[in-house]
Amino acid sequence: MSSVLITGANRGIGLEFARQYAASGWTVHAACRQPHSAGELNALGGIRLHEIDVTDHNSIDALAAKIDEPIDVVIANAGVMGPRSDQQSFGSFDYEAWRAVMEVNLYGTVHTCEAFTPHLEKGDQKKLAVLSSKMGSIADTSGGLAHYRTSKTALNMAIMASAAGLAQKGIAAGIFHPGWVQTDMGGPSALITTEECVTGLRQQIAGLPVTAKPDFLTFDGEVLSW
């Protein structure tokens, strides 16, 4: 049976990943900050629930030690947008809030990838997916939201800088823009549902090649500029 680990699995895109993989008969390791109050996740049934806060690297390491089995696909999905846009604008940057965004979107995400690499090496499929954002593209920016944008730009480079080493272990790394998605983060005006987003992302993840130079891909396979 195939298996997947998802961070931020209690709502939004992460919850939909859990729902779809579970419906396909996969073993789903669903990680979130408060598993006992994750109502929709608990309601899925058949899910293995785990507690992690990705800003607490000890909690990531403890979960990696607890799951003593191969994992086919790891999805580092947990992320935050940061404070109101006026606090992410030049002249009024909130540096404490900026560091907090980096803790989740960069360090927490990258440490999740590191901690579960041994599980991927033992798995059959060996796919590592990180949820980035088009807002991290330097070539395609409209400005604003500097905390969020820089966290995703840095995440993209951290994964690119690690991809060759991962490829040597047979692991395919994927850097994804999920689209503008109807979640708490994306808001109700977003263009696509979590179902459309995750249906596309699952296809992209399944087809990821092992390469030292991954592409920056949208949920439907478009290649974005860095």
Interface residues toward ligand NAP, by CB under 6 A: 7-8, 10-14, 32-33, 53-55, 77-80, 104, 108, 131, 133, 177-178, 180-181, 183-186, 190
Whether the CB-CB separation of 223 and 145 falls below 8 Å is answered with: no
* Least separation in angstroms between CB 4 and ligand NAP: 15
- C-alpha span between 86 and 152 (Å, rounded): 19
Phi and psi at 119, nearest 5°, equal -70, -40
Catalytic residue among 132, 133, 151, 162: 133
Q: Is there a catalytic annotation at residue 142?
A: no
Residues 6+ apart with CB under 8 A from 203: 221
Q: Is there a catalytic annotation at residue 21?
A: no
| Closer residue to ligand NAP in complex, CB, 47/181 | 181
Catalytic residue among 126, 127, 134, 152: 152
| Closer residue to ligand NAP in complex, CB, 11/57 | 11
* Least separation in angstroms between CB 168 and ligand NAP: 27
| Closer residue to ligand NAP in complex, CB, 160/190 | 190
Report how far apart the first and last C-alpha atoms of the chain are (Å, whole number). Answer: 36
CA-based torsion, 134, 112, 162, 122: positive or negative: negative
| Closer residue to ligand NAP in complex, CB, 8/174 | 8
Cα distances (Å, whole numbers) of residue 165 to 21, 173, 200: 28, 10, 27
Q: Is there a catalytic annotation at residue 152?
A: yes
| Closer residue to ligand NAP in complex, CB, 7/156 | 7
Catalytic residue among 132, 134, 148, 151: 148
* Least separation in angstroms between CB 10 and ligand NAP: 5
Per DSSP, helices labelled H in 67-145 are 95-102, 109-115, 117-122
The two structure tokens encoding residue 146: 């500097």
Whether the CB-CB separation of 25 and 45 falls below 8 Å is answered with: no
- C-alpha span between 19 and 43 (Å, rounded): 10
* Least separation in angstroms between CB 32 and ligand NAP: 6
* Least separation in angstroms between CB 66 and ligand NAP: 16
Residues that are catalytic: 133, 148, 152
